[in-house]
Amino acid sequence: MVTVSALVYYPVKGCAGVSVERAEITGAGLAHDRRFMFVTPDGTFRSQRSTQLLATIRPSVVHDGTKLTLAAPGVADLVLDMRPDGPRVPVTLHKIWAREAVDQGDDVAGWASEVLGEPVRLVRTAPDFDRQVDEHHGQVGFADSTALHATSLASLDDLNARILERGAEPVPMARFRPNLVLGGLDAPFAEDAMTTLTIGDAVLRYVKPDIRCRVTMTDQVTGEMAGPEPIRTLAGYRRAPEGGVSFGIKLAVERPGVISVGDTIY
């Protein structure tokens, strides 16, 4: 029996995730997932590919979704009143998507610029936000290309066994930053063959394998490079035909719903 082993949402793109026992699946993924992101003064998005210290910022959505808390080492926590709408600024994501997002003000900009060591501003999806890479990929927030990313415990166990054989240290699941972790699979990478996942009322559709980048080599606690694993080992047996190495699958939302840890996945 395949079940939901973990659910994680990432309020701010590139920052730490929040594990939950129950989550609403909207048309664009988990509620509150990647609805915020940091951008440079000219509106270019920041991710751990360029700004590894994002991993050290721990955000959480509180007070029924009206406030965002931000914590990081060495600075006082910040409690931010979300601006669902207001002053808008132009932003770009991967150079192929350019729109406007709602600026969240000078206080959080100053706080985050101190933490990250570079000038940034925090922006939020606007009420009329509508992003769809294409019909196949489905709706998405500030995530790279799809609403959800799923991994499995069986795949991580297989990978870590291979890493240990090389005399290196195993990696935690957090390195892969999944939204949905599958438990109970009887073989590693069985998720690659899934086309539709039904969990309660929610229906998720397979879009493509997740081609992994250098972010998987970043320690998700310290924000420091901790490579070459897992990329080195994955390169030995998980090379994708289109290039790179894969771990996990990307999913679109066919039907929204509410799911919980422990739910059966059909």
Strand-by-strand arrangement of the 97-103 sheet? 36-39, 121-124, 97-103, 88-93
Strand 257-260 vs strand 121-124: parallel, antiparallel, or unpaired? unpaired
pLDDT at position 136: 76
CA-based nearest residue to 252, from 167, 171, 149:
149
**Exposed, middle or buried, 100 (CB in 10 Å: 0-12/13-18/19+)?**
middle
Kindly report the number of other CB atoms within 10 A of residue 227's CB atom. Answer: 12
CB-neighbour burial class of residue 244 (10 A; exposed 0-12, middle 13-18, buried 19+): middle
pTM of the model: 0.94
- Distance of alpha carbon 250 from alpha carbon 133, whole angstroms: 13
pLDDT of residue 129: 86
Those residues whose C-beta lies under 8 Å from the C-beta of residue 210, and which sit 6 or more positions away, are: 149, 176, 246, 247, 248, 249, 250
Residue 152 CA to residue 252 CA, distance in Å, equals: 17
Helix ranges (H only) for 54-168 are 106-116, 153-165
At 124, list the tokens: 């939020």
Structure tokens at 247: 């771990």
User: Residues 222-228: contacts with CB within 8 Å, 24+ apart?
Assistant: 222/55, 222/56, 223/48, 223/52, 223/53, 223/54, 223/55, 223/56, 224/52, 225/52
- Specify the pLDDT at position 128: 87
pLDDT at 198: 98
Q: Return per-residue pLDDT of the chain as tens, 266 residues.
A: 999 999 999 999 999 999 999 999 999 999 999 999 999 999 999 999 999 999 999 999 999 889 999 999 999 999 999 999 999 999 999 877 888 999 999 999 999 999 999 999 999 999 888 887 667 778 888 998 899 999 999 999 999 999 999 999 999 999 999 999 999 999 999 999 999 999 999 999 999 999 999 999 999 999 999 989 999 999 999 999 889 999 999 999 999 999 999 999 99
Give the pLDDT confidence score for residue 54 in this predicted structure: 98
